[in-house]
Amino acid sequence: MIRMRHTTALRAAAAGIAALLTATACSSQRGQDDSAASADGACKGQQTTGITDKSIKLGGIYPMSGPASAYGTISNGVSTYFKYVNAEKGGIGGRKVEFVVRDDGYQPPKAVEEARRLVEREKVFAVFQTLGTPSTSAVWDYLNQQKVPQPFVATGASKWGTDTEHPWTMGWQPNYVAESRMYADYLKKEKPKAKVAVLFQNDDFGKDLLGGFKQAVKGSDITVVAEESYEVTDPSVSAQMTSLARSEADVLLNITTPKFGSQALAADAKNPRWNPLHIVNSVSASTSVLKPVGFKNVQGVVSATYFKDPADPQWADDAEMKTYRAAMKKYAPDADPSIQFNAYGWAVASSLHKALDAMECPTREGLRDAVQKLKDVKVDMLLPGVALNTGANDRFPIETMQLVRFQGERWVLFGEPLDTRQKFGPVTG
């Protein structure tokens, strides 16, 4: 039968892929670091691989292809920042930045492969950044064994901060638990008796945010009355949305990635009998998610953010935004500066600049220690009131956010920036 043959075909394909992966994995298992360089003086014995007085070499792993490649443009923002600093500021502390970008297609095994390449062949000083929780989780053991700094990973999982086994890895953006606290705080004030329906992606990301939210509303009159999850392989979330509508909740918490975010917003707009307050998580709060749904259908949707939106006219005269736009035009003419991901890249790169400036020793150990003691470090692309803070018991650089509401054709900030750590205490594992 024809179907029998397909099973065989699939099995053969799977075996082929497995063989390929093994082969590539083996080929990269070359003897590591034959030339481990180290420093003298006060920094004696520390690693100086990838850094000299004149240069510093960084490597980033982004999904330039595959399902998550919308995020790949973050590397444009990052490399534009470094090009700008190299050309117009003489580099970082006199060191020109060389930035090597590799593509993992959002596949963890590929990310491991690329991390090895960056560390063993390119001999980078630090891996800045890895993107996505799966890829970052796949490489952090390796990078920590190799004692290579992995600062400011591009994912909001809370485990980067709660973990104590990986001192070389550090998060950056507000973690999902912190974000969920923003919404909890908002509801406590606006709808103290809210009945909340939740749509969430069935993975670490979705569960992190949902778990944080439930924790944060404990003891209040806010209740979660319905939860529906989806798999990233589902074609659509419309059935889940129908079930959620049955709950007649007055708030919908939409914890999704972009395509599903659009679907959920559209399903909500289409249902005339259910009009909950719609909160969409920041992962899907990009204008590119709302536009396909139609701006008229997403008025009043609420989210939270922490960096300046390049599409927001209130920053048109902002000095940093002007520098950013000019640099993007000059060094990345093909990229659209209005896309939030580019501004994100710029913001995280300038955060790394501050951390590199703060190193006591120009070594890998120096960077590892510097990112662990950031004190009120202002980064101009972040919102006023948001600063980087870390310490011995605080491994979450950004925990302050501000709410936004969609009005007209853009997000409008409202309320005050909220330090979620101060309000709710440290995030624990």
Applying CB under 8 A, which residues contact another protein? 1-3, 5-6, 8-9, 12-13, 65-70, 202, 228-231, 233-236, 238-240, 242-243, 246, 258-259, 262-263, 266, 270-273, 288-289, 291-294
Token digits for 360? 């006591």
List, in sequence order, every residue forming a beta bridge with 414; answer none if it has no partner: 403
Closer to another protein by Cβ: residue 18 or 326: 18
In angstroms, give the least distance from the CB of 405 to another protein.
21
In angstroms, give the least distance from the CB of 65 to another protein.
6
In angstroms, give the least distance from the CB of 216 to another protein.
23
User: Measured between alpha carbons, how far is 331 from 235 in angstroms, rounded to an integer?
Assistant: 38
C-alpha angle with apex 200: 197 to 205, nearest 5 degrees?
A: 140
DSSP string over 210-249: HHHHHHHHTTSS-EEEEEEEE-TT-S--HHHHHHHHHTT-
In angstroms, give the least distance from the CB of 200 to another protein.
10
Closer to another protein by Cβ: residue 241 or 386: 241
Token digits for 275? 């009009």
Are 258 and 289 spatial neighbours (Cβ–Cβ below 8 Å)? yes
Give 322's contacts (C-beta < 8 A, 6+ positions apart). none
Closer to another protein by Cβ: residue 1 or 26: 1
Closer to another protein by Cβ: residue 72 or 397: 72
Query: Where is 361: in which H helix or E strand?
Result: none
Give 272's contacts (C-beta < 8 A, 6+ positions apart). none
Query: Angle of helix 204-217 relative to helix 176-190, nearest 10 degrees?
Result: 40
- Virtual CA dihedral for 7, 8, 11, 15, nearest 10 degrees? -170
In angstroms, give the least distance from the CB of 210 to another protein.
13
> What is the residue whose two structure tokens read 């930045």?
97
Token digits for 5? 């043959």
Token digits for 379? 């980064």
Closer to another protein by Cβ: residue 235 or 425: 235
In angstroms, give the least distance from the CB of 235 to another protein.
4
Closer to another protein by Cβ: residue 124 or 264: 264
**Strand-strand pairing, 377-378 and 387-388:** antiparallel
In angstroms, give the least distance from the CB of 265 to another protein.
10
Q: Work out the burial of residue 429: count CB atoms within 10 Å of its CB; fewer than 13 is exposed, 13-18 middle, 19 or more buried.
A: exposed
Q: According to DSSP H, which parts of 309-371 are helical?
A: 319-331, 340-357, 364-370
Closer to another protein by Cβ: residue 290 or 382: 290
Closer to another protein by Cβ: residue 97 or 266: 266
For 408, other C-beta atoms within 10 Å of its C-beta total 9
C-alpha angle with apex 236: 178 to 280, nearest 5 degrees?
A: 25
In angstroms, give the least distance from the CB of 296 to another protein.
11
Closer to another protein by Cβ: residue 55 or 288: 288
Are 281 and 179 spatial neighbours (Cβ–Cβ below 8 Å)? yes
Closer to another protein by Cβ: residue 72 or 171: 72
123-133 burial by CB neighbour count: b if 16+ within 10 A, else e?
bbbbbbbbbbb
In angstroms, give the least distance from the CB of 15 to another protein.
12
In angstroms, give the least distance from the CB of 157 to another protein.
20
